[in-house]
Amino acid sequence: MVVTPIQALEQSIGRRVTVRLKTGHEYNGKLILSDEHMNLLLTDCQEIDADKPLKRLGEALVRGNNILFIKL
């Protein structure tokens, strides 16, 4: 069975993910919601650099068209 990217995101709800934006910023947090545009809601979110935390953000909404890739 082939899993689409949207299905993979749905299966990852409740797990920690890392999101890199087109700007180069990287965020790590628990995936709470995703939609058909790959907009993501992360909780317990932090901005990271080389896997080291830079800032704690709490909840963050990441717009799908800004995402370069997502590590599940």
pLDDT tens for 58-67 read 999 999 999 9
For the cut 90, the answer to whether the pLDDT of residue 53 exceeds it is no
For 65, residues 6+ apart whose C-beta sits below 8 A from its C-beta are: 37
CB 48 within 8 A of CB 27: yes
**Mean pLDDT, to the nearest integer, of 3-22?**
95
- Smallest Cα–Cα separation from 16: which of 1, 4, 28? 28
Handedness of CA 52, 55, 46, 44 (dihedral sign): positive
Mean pLDDT of the chain: 95
Q: Which amino acid is at 40?
A: L
pTM to 2 decimals?
0.90
